[in-house]
Structure 1
Amino acid sequence: MIWSMAFACLWVVAATVVAFLPLRYQMPLGFILLASALALVAWLAVETNPWVALAAIAAVVSMFRKPLLYGIKKAKEKSAPDREGGQP
């Protein structure tokens, strides 16, 4: 249990350091952090309890809210049917 919490703390420190970097460096490192957050939350859920994992998910969503909203917006635009010239 202590290792998962220690890695979660290190993830938060890494995310804070990445936030101080220029935007061109933030993007690739931010994607790495977001991908690793999924594995870390799963690890926390297995080693602790679901409430800790839920708090970790809330923290990740809070930190990555703008990129996640942008991704959702782009996904909606891509999946929307073409309304020009198609059948009603």
Structure 2
Amino acid sequence: MTSIVLFCLWVVAANVVAMLPSRDGHWTAAYILIVVGIPLLGYLTWQNGPIVGFIGLVAGMSVLRWPLVMLTRWVKEKLGR
């Protein structure tokens, strides 16, 4: 139960940060959210199982979609597609 509450707080914090103005396009906040979110996602999965962990992964990917889009573009560029 603790991990679900912490993950919900992470989602709320990510949405609050997205509403604030930013000079760098929120990239600094995205890096911080990723660094905090990955161990939190592991804790969520460990405590509640892989199905809840997958739901958390999808939720995190929807919140941080632009870093994911940029990572996909970078990987495609490196693979030569």
Name the SS for the 1:23 alignment partner.
coil
In structure 2, distance between residues paired with 1:43 and 1:10? 14
RMSD value, Cα: 1.8
Task: Report % sequence identity.
Answer: 35
- In structure 2, what residue type is equivalent to 1:17? V
Partner of 1:43: 43
Partner of 1:69: 69
Structure 1 regions of 5+ residues with no counterpart? 81-88
Partner of 1:53: 53
Aligned residue pairs total 80
Deviations, residues 34-75 of structure 1 (Å, cap 9, x unaligned): 222111111011111111101000111111222211122123
Superposition TM-score, scaled by structure 1 size? 0.77
Q: Which has the larger radius of gyration?
A: 1
Superposition TM-score, scaled by structure 2 size? 0.83
Do 2:7 and 2:40's aligned partners in 1 also have CA atoms closer than 8 Å? yes
Structure 2 regions of 5+ residues with no counterpart? none
